[in-house]
Amino acid sequence: MNYLSINDIDVLSNWVKEAISLKKQPKKFKELGKDKTIGLLFFNNSLRTRLSTQKAAMNLGMEVIVMNFGSEGWALEYADGTVMDQGTSEHIKEAAHVISQYCDIIAIRAFAGLVDKELDEAEQVLSGFKEYASVPIVNMESSVGHPLQALTDAITLEEHNFKNNPKVVLSWAPHPKALPHAVANSFVQMMQKQNAEFVITHPKGYELDPSITKDCTIEHDQEKALENADFVYVKNWSSYTNYGQIKSQDTNWQMTLKKLGKAKFMHCLPVRRNVVVADEVLDSDQSLVIEQANNRTYAAQLVLKKILESNE
Ligand code: CP
């Protein structure tokens, strides 16, 4: 079993229930991972993913190896038949085989480069490890998805009485840097598995990949979208159509308490205060961001538990 995208979840409500029960007794399965090792490979920075996945593995009794591959590893070649006389030093074929000898599970973070859409959508790092590793692979945020974050968000929603067809709004927010679409994509895919009124709001030109948003409601008027919202998930992403470009830095899209109304505020973190969201929101009781970060451990722990059980 791999955990590469939200599509690897069979029944989301069952996964959420099981994660919440793990949270109550995090050490209950501490024998399950005994004598097993997970390798966490980071091609990009992280705080939450690195520490929560490590904690999740430790709760299951696993040993953990962490490598900042982007800065410490050999530059990897992914294409077949390349004459490797340029910048790459090692082929994914050898690297994935070698790491599989050291680890029982390999977890990978490799963001989109946001330059070449086709290359990003091919998910060459994740796909390369999937093809050549002989152990299960976990996606710790790839070019197009962040399924551990989306599972976390489903857990957090459930813990806040996510019942009776609530209204959930995914709102774009400004950011000085061009950011990937992964978090927004996986949140959309997760919401498509929920019984909720779901609305996406963003300025024109920020449409996400239509093969992901499918028939989701898209409202370009943020104020209208936020009317009677129960949960507001805020995230920046760069343009998908004009791939990787910043088309707007309109500060009017920043989330404020006035706009939030009575809704709960969600964000995956890290977040830029007073750019994406005002201090008054993050410092209010309506913010769920710290709870979301805590739930990263139990989302990861559930995924690792299922993988360990499937390989018993
Ligand atoms: N939300 C999230 O993935 O945080 P990090 O980038 O710090 O891991």
The total number of residues shown for the chain amounts to: 312
Helix H, strand E, coil C: the string for the chain is: CCECCHHHCCCHHHHHHHHHHHHHCCCCCCCCCCCCEEEEEECCCCCHHHHHHHHHHHHCCCEEEEECHHHHCCCEECCCCCCCCCCCCEEHHHHHHHHHHHCCEEEEECCCCCCCHHHHHCCHHHHHHHHHCCCCEEECCCCCCCHHHHHHHHHHHHHCCCCCCCEEEEEECCCCCCCCCHHHHHHHHHHCCCCCEEEEECCCCCCCCHHHHCCCEECCCHHHHHCCCCEEEEECCCCCCCCCCCCCCCHHHCECHHHHCCCEEECCCCCCECCCECHHHHCCCCECHHHHHHHHHHHHHHHHHHHHHHCC
Token pair 């779901």 is found at: 198
Binding-site sequence positions for carbamoyl phosphate: 46-49, 74, 109, 146-149, 268-269, 296
Q: Which amino acid is at 284?
A: S
Tokens of 15: 């996964």
Residues 6+ apart with CB under 8 A from 231: 157, 160, 162, 166, 167, 168, 169, 263, 264, 266
The predicted model gives 168-190 an average pLDDT of 98
**What angle is formed at CA 22 by the lines to CA 21 and CA 23, rounded to 5 degrees?**
90
Closest C-alpha to 111, from 244, 203, 233: 244
- Residue ranges of the binding site for N(2)-succinyl-L-ornithine: 141, 175, 235, 272
pLDDT digits 0-9 by tens, 232-263: 999 999 999 999 999 999 999 999 999 999 99
Q: pLDDT for 144-161, tens place per residue?
A: 999 999 999 999 999 997
Output the pLDDT for position 145: 98
Q: How large is the average pLDDT for residues 187-212? A: 97
In the predicted structure, residue 312 carries a pLDDT above the cut 80: no
Protein residue whose Cα sits closest to atom 7 of ligand 1: 47
For ligand 1, what atom is nearest to the CA of residue 45? 6
- Nearest ligand 1 atom to alpha carbon 44: 6
| pLDDT tens-digit series, residues 91-134 | 999 999 999 999 999 999 999 999 999 999 999 999 999 999 99
How much is the pLDDT for 137? Answer: 98
Average of per-residue pLDDT values in the chain: 97
pLDDT confidence of residue 311:
81
Which residue puts its alpha carbon closest to atom 4 of ligand 1?
48
> In testing the pocket of ligand 1, which one of 43, 45, 46 has its CB within 8 Å of the most ligand atoms?
46
pLDDT at 163 over 80: no
- Would you state the pLDDT for residue 288? 98
Shortest-distance Cα residue to atom 6 of ligand 1: 46
Centroid of ligand 1 to alpha carbon of 181 (angstroms) = 14
State pLDDT tens for residues 28-77: 999 999 999 999 999 999 999 999 999 999 999 999 999 999 899 999 99
In the structure, which protein residues have their CB atom closer than 6 angstroms to any atom of ligand 1?
46-49, 141, 149, 268-270
